[in-house]
Structure 1
Amino acid sequence: MPDGARPEPGGWNRIHLIVDDIAAEVERLQAAGVTFRNRIVTGPGGQQILVFDPAGNLVELFQPAAR
């Protein structure tokens, strides 16, 4: 992670939500003051970003790659 955090025992389990337009969701959530753990990461399967919910749990937003 950009902040130097590394996986610890128990892993980095998280809720995974599929979105249609990750850039639009990030913009909307940033405007609402949501804290993100990283920037959008792009890979062969799509794009993802991690966000903290109000209780500090990680939630992954995922936009699958176009087919």
Structure 2
Amino acid sequence: MVFGSYTFKLVIITRKMYVKRLHTMIMLSSTSTTSMHWTPMFWSTLYIKFAILLNNKSFLFSFISYIF
């Protein structure tokens, strides 16, 4: 029971960190013109991975390793 609540808090913290990092990286990529050619593909795959994380909690630890 304690482990379950801990994992749930970890999911919430990871989502908050990911959303914050996502917003800052979108701002950075929108300002810089050199990274424009790889940005759409990169962010589409990232959004797909984040949607998988939101729908399926078993992807959490692989997603954490992907972020860090």
- TM-score norm. by structure 1 comes to 0.29
Larger radius of gyration: 2
Structure in which a larger fraction of residues adopt strand = 1
Structure in which a larger fraction of residues adopt helix = 2
- TM-score norm. by structure 2 comes to 0.29
